Amino acid sequence: MQKTKLIIFDYDGVLVDTFPLACSAYYAIFKEFNIKTNFSTEQFRDFFEVDWTKNLAVLGISEKKDIEKSELIFRSIVADSSRNVKIYSGIEQVLKQLKDKGYKLAVLSNNYEDIIKKHLKKNQVLHYFDKIADVNYGLKPDTKGILRLLDEFEIKPTEAVMIGDMDGDIIMAKNAKLKKAIGVSWGFHNHKKLKDADVIIDAPLEIINEVE
């Protein structure tokens, strides 16, 4: 088996705890479009898909102008709440150890580069990453973004590991034939939805022993 050279992290629910923020953004979208719902926390976890356009479609939001309006609502809430976005305990220690071991680190997210960089910089961990790849690389679980990322690093799929908290992250990694797809249980999806991962971990520090 080839040695891991690149470790790719999802952003929301893996590096930073944005689940409450995502719920707030969708409540604002519900209000804007007069959608009546009383989602519980667990119902929100079942509702969320890595491709956020599918979330909107479930709500009946499919016209381009309405999707764009929803996107603006989401961006405004997330961008204005950087003070409330914290990295998970142990993440900084993990990133430091991985960099010290010589791995390349990247983020691949359906979020936006400016927001990701703002939050990671505020939490003093942006400098650990060699690349931030956002929604403009293509929406996960499509493999377009991850294949582009591998090409930019000149790294084979069998030399890369994906760390994600949603089933779409795992599906993408499997379809791209990555070395390993690691699911994390502290984010948006639970063990059941992450069942196709090569391994599921319950604490950030476990990442260090699972990337090979």
- SS3 of 24-46: HHHHHHHHHCCCCCCCCHHHHHH
**Domain at 200, CATH number:** 3.40.50.1000
Instruction: Kindly report the pTM of this predicted structure.
Output: 0.90
Task: Please give the average per-residue pLDDT across 105-110, as a whole number.
Answer: 98
Q: Which range among 32-36, 44-48, 175-179 has the greatest average pLDDT?
A: 175-179
| Domain contains 1 | no
| Alpha-carbon gap, residue 137 to 133, rounded angstroms | 6
8 DSSP β-pair partners: 106, 162
pLDDT of residue 135: 94
As a whole number of angstroms, the distance between CA 20 and CA 49 comes to: 15
Same domain, 62 and 155: no
pLDDT(191) > 70: yes
| Residue 58 and residue 100 in one domain | no
Kindly report the average pLDDT of the chain as a whole number.
93
* 43/116 same-domain check: no
Domain holding 36, by residue range, is 19-83
Of all residues in the chain, the percent with pLDDT exceeding 70 is 99
- Nearest of 196, 207, 129 to residue 169 by alpha carbon: 196
When pLDDT is cut at 50, 70 and 90, the band that residue 46 belongs to is: confident
Please give the tally of structural domains in the chain: 2
Whether residue 74 sits in one domain with residue 146: no
Report the alpha-carbon angle 83-132-76, nearest 5. Answer: 40
**pLDDT average, residue stretch 200-211:** 98
